[in-house]
Amino acid sequence: MKTIIEPFRIKMVEPIRMTTVEERRGFLEEAEHNLFLIAAENVIIDLLTDSGTAAMSDAQWAGIMRGDESYAGARSFYRFQEKVQEITGFTQVIPTHQGRAAERILFGLLGGPGRVIPSNTHFDTTRANIESQGSEAADLVIAAGLDPGSLYPFKGNMDVGRLEELIRRVGPGQIPVCMLTVTNNSGGGQPVSMDNIRRTREVLNRHGIPLFLDACRFAENAYFIKRRESGYGERSCKDIAREMFSCADGCTMSAKKDALVNIGGFLAMNDEELARRARNVLIVTEGFPTYGGLAGRDLEAIAQGLEEVLHEDYLAYRIRTAEYVGEKLEAAGVPFVKPPGGHAIYLDARAFAPHIPPREFPGQAIACALYVEGGVRSCEIGSVMFGRTDPQTGTHLAPPLELVRLAFPRRVYTQSHFDYVIEVILKVHAGRSSLRGMRITYEPPALRHFTARYGYR
Ligand code: P71
């Protein structure tokens, strides 16, 4: 059959509260145009993030009941550790309450002033954790990864030439670790090819630099490799994922994505000495090494989720969802990052609202309009999230892409929900000439998108 269905039945439902355009205008004003500050109850379709928003399976809920809540050495920890070891091959497994806790521990140990940490593209929390250690976060994605229209199949790839150049310029001694984000979230959820992971590895090997995967969406990346890279079509996604991890020395993981849970993460690696130091930090900030800030039940749910996320029927449905939305937007001439990513559709705000310059946050203006029009909550990934003001000149330094991400919670929304989302996007697109630029009226010192306030120009 050609129709790819949601490969699950629904046995528990959560009602959606409907609101009117007028009500939503009021909610947005109360939130000073920051969608993070809107009560979820006042959102109809919540595509703010795919992080921690998955629906768990019956088997995961059963695991929740089985959770062993012993402080030390809980049975649930051993099940979790075994599953992470099976999929990643890394011997040292350290649970954390979410991805950024793993990042903070890793960069706290390896970062420091003068150090540079390259990646294809660091996500916001990763960049913030690197910069808070006084280190520099360098984004070295290939040129196609910055071209929304390019159909290159692996737009998340690292530019290995630029990586070599960086190593030559700053010296390998200043680069304690190199990251690869799979899939590349800030660049449109685009995958990294196995060939590119290997070539990155080879360059790093020559200079004795370890490679860590930011593995949030490792299963979606594995599925793209299966579908797009020659030689992988007949391999299982689990096998491909194992091969991806086998090229790295460790990983940080937000289990809130491809472990299909609502909270959790881990840091994993082979280096026993580094792991010993990481556990010492963990005990101070997160908890004892067999729970790391999580409940035993959370560890059970992660172990089960890591297994389920690699099921091919699930991944086929997952990737098809973004493709489906992409086909409808393409047909209507709405600009978005092509090909569609694994976990989201990213509208190309520069092309969508070319009359609004980056310093007036075109992505934020579109995100606000999607909310007012249809109660659809999305997330700006552009000048709000990654833009900076030059401290010398006061001019706006725009990131390479101005995007609005509509991220898809896993196993939560059906095809008719997405048909509704498409209708809302098309309506906002039809009225795009009336979108107005915005300005920031308040911003915190770091990660400003979470708490900034806005007004219209
Ligand atoms: C996402 C998030 C979480 C988020 C961020 C900003 C606004 C809303 C929601 C988190 C990631 C990620 C990558 C590649 C590390 C983290 C941190 N993403 N690396 O995409 O995408 O993980 O949230 O568990 O701490 O919405 P954490």
pLDDT of 49? 97
Distance CA 60, CA 227 (A): 28
Q: Is 184 helix (H, G, I), strand (E, B) or coil?
A: strand
pLDDT in the model for residue 277:
98
Answer yes or no: are the C-beta atoms of 87 and 309 closer than 8 Å: no
Q: Is the CB of 63 under 6 A from ligand 1?
A: no
Q: What's the CA angle centered on 96, arms 95 and 101, to 5 degrees?
A: 145
Q: What confidence score (pLDDT) does residue 446 get?
A: 83
For residue 386, report the distance from its CA to the centre of ligand 1, in Å: 14
What are the φ/ψ torsions at residue 268 (nearest 5 degrees)? -135, 150
Q: What is the pTM of this model?
A: 0.96
Atom 26 in ligand 1: residue holding the nearest Cα: 49
Would you say the CB of residue 405 lies under 6 angstroms from ligand 1? no
Ligand 1 centroid to residue 143 C-alpha, Å: 23
The whole-angstrom distance between residue 283's C-alpha and the CA centroid of its chain comes to 27
Q: What is the pLDDT of residues 365-400, one digit of tens each?
A: 999 999 999 999 999 999 999 998 888 998 999 999
Residue 196, helix vs strand vs coil: helix
The model's pLDDT over 71-100, given as tens digits with 9 standing for 90+, comes to 999 999 999 999 999 999 999 999 999 999
**Eight-class DSSP state of 361:** -
- Report the distance separating Cα 304 and Cα 59, nearest Å: 7
Q: Is the CB of 119 under 6 A from ligand 1?
A: no
Task: Please report the pLDDT score of residue 79 as a whole number.
Answer: 98
| 373, amino acid identity | E
The pLDDT score that the predictor gives to residue 223 is 98
Residue 391's pLDDT is what? 87
Residues 6 or more apart whose CB falls under 8 angstroms from that of 53 comprise 46, 256, 262, 409, 410, 412
Is the CB of residue 403 below 6 angstroms from any atom belonging to ligand 1? Answer: no
Low-confidence ranges of the chain (pLDDT < 70): none
Cα-to-centroid distance, 165 and ligand 1 (Å):
29
List strands edge to edge, sheet with 178-181: 92-96, 265-269, 250-254, 211-214, 178-181
Q: Ligand 1 test: best mutation among 105, 254, 380, 410, most atoms within 8 Å of CB?
A: 254
Ligand 1: centre distance to CA 125 (Å): 7
Q: Determine the Cα–Cα distance for residues 343 and 406; give it in Å rounded to an integer.
A: 9
Distance 419 CA to ligand 1 centre (A): 26
Grouping H, G, I as helix, E, B as strand and the rest as coil, residue 141 is strand
For residue 426, the CA-to-ligand 1 centroid distance in Å is: 27
Structure tokens at 176: 């304690």
Q: Phi-psi bin for 114: left (phi > 0), alpha (psi -120 to 50), beta? A: left
The sign of the CA dihedral 273, 258, 254, 422 is positive
The predicted pLDDT at position 445 comes to: 85
Q: What is the C-alpha to C-alpha distance for residues 381 and 434, in angstroms, rounded to an integer?
A: 21
Q: Taking a C-beta distance cutoff of 8 angstroms, is the pair 253, 102 a contact?
A: yes
Give the residue, by CA position, lying nearest to ligand 1 atom 15: 99
The letter for the amino acid at 75 is: R
Q: Is the CB of 184 under 6 A from ligand 1?
A: no
CA proximity to 183, closest of 117, 95, 244, 260? 244
